[in-house]
């Protein structure tokens, strides 16, 4: 039913791991093969292509559904439907930002300080031109094919580049003086395909599976038993992420309690629950959480 396109390159590994965890394993003959498949009746065809191209191909109808960053949607001015953010990234939990950076020792502290004719290098030339034009700065924008930060100050005066941590910019002795946009990885759809009821249902069902995996990451299910007298103390120790499920035990008195907690809290939480009167504690991994 759906033609799906996934990003190759820096997001490739994380994307394939996400689909694997969602029981949507992407199969291909080799790690360099561009054609792939998913054993799911909702997916007819899968391609793995450069993320810069994906928004345009989806907008043109070559694919019904794809994963791409907002940065490339904006750069290519692609008319697509954004079905929602997929908050996973290649380096950190920080948002991916497109920023303006200049030499650390330069007098410029904001984009508006930049002089007309300022030379700018970026992998996002169209986005950069629009950004500077909107701020009344006449910039000489030059396309960069990579290592953008290394071009300052010998080749250009400043750069517009993507960063999650800012580490590469600081290492190049650059400071950030403006933000073009905050990008995120998103599920995008072709408008005509999205208007088709059957295809839209399939798209949203796939999104439910992917969202469920992302929601479950870093979380575990805790189950325990507790007597009547200790119930309040045990409940008081549970994190306020989600209201616990409490059920009366059959015959013997007491309660069964279960709830979802952050994995990072579990090693301090379990002993504390036991000390408070909980018994028969079980920690279980989670594959998906669907609200």
Domain residue limits, the chain: 2-90+184-215, 96-182, 218-285
Instruction: Please provide residue 85's backbone torsions phi and psi, each rounded to the nearest 5 degrees.
Output: -75, 145
Q: At what angle do helices 197-216 and 12-21 cross, to 10 degrees?
A: 100
CA dist 193 and 177 (Å) reads 40
Consecutive H or E run containing 272: helix 266-275
Residue 199 confidence (pLDDT): 98
Question: Does 2-90+184-215 match 96-182 in CATH topology?
Answer: yes
What pLDDT digit, counting tens, does each position of 89-139 carry? 655 556 789 999 999 999 999 999 999 999 999 999 999 999 999 999 999
pTM of the model: 0.88
> Residues 45-72: what's their mean pLDDT?
97
Q: Please tell me the distance from the alpha carbon of residue 55 to that of residue 33, in angstroms, as a whole number.
A: 20
CATH number of 96-182: 3.40.190.10
What CATH number should be reported for the domain whose range is 2-90+184-215?
A: 3.40.190.10
C-beta of residue 205 within 8 angstroms of C-beta of residue 42: yes
List CB contacts of 128: < 8 A, sequence separation 6 or more: 120, 122, 139, 141, 160, 180
């Amino acid at each position: 039913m759906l033609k799906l396109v996934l990003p190759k390159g820096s997001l490739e590994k994380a994307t394939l791991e996400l689909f694997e965890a969602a029981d949507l394993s992407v199969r291909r003959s080799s790690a360099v093969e561009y054609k792939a498949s998913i054993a799911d009746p909702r997916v007819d065809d899968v391609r793995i292509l450069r993320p810069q191209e994906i928004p345009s191909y989806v907008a043109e109808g070559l694919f019904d559904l794809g994963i791409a960053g907002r940065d490339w949607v904006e750069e290519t001015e692609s008319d697509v439907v954004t079905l929602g953010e997929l908050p996973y990234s290649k380096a950190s939990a920080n948002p991916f930002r497109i920023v303006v950076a200049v030499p650390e020792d330069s007098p410029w502290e904001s984009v508006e300080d930049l002089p007309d004719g300022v030379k700018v290098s970026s992998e996002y030339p169209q986005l950069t031109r629009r950004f500077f034009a909107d701020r009344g700065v006449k910039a000489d924008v030059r396309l960069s094919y990579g290592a953008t930060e290394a071009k300052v100050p010998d080749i250009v005066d400043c750069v517009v580049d993507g960063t999650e941590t800012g580490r590469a910019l600081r290492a190049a002795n650059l400071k950030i003086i403006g933000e073009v946009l905050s990008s995120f990885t998103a599920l995008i759809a072709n408008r005509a395909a999205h208007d088709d009821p059957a295809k839209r249902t399939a798209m949203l069902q796939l999104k439910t599976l992917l969202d469920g995996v992302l929601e479950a990451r870093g979380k575990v299910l805790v189950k325990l038993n507790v007597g009547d007298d200790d119930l309040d103390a045990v409940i008081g120790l549970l994190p306020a992420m989600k209201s616990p499920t409490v059920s009366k035990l059959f015959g013997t008195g007491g309660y069964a309690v279960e709830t979802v907690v952050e994995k990072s809290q579990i090693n301090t939480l379990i002993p504390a629950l036991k000390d408070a009167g909980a018994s028969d504690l079980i920690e279980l991994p989670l594959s998906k959480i669907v609200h």
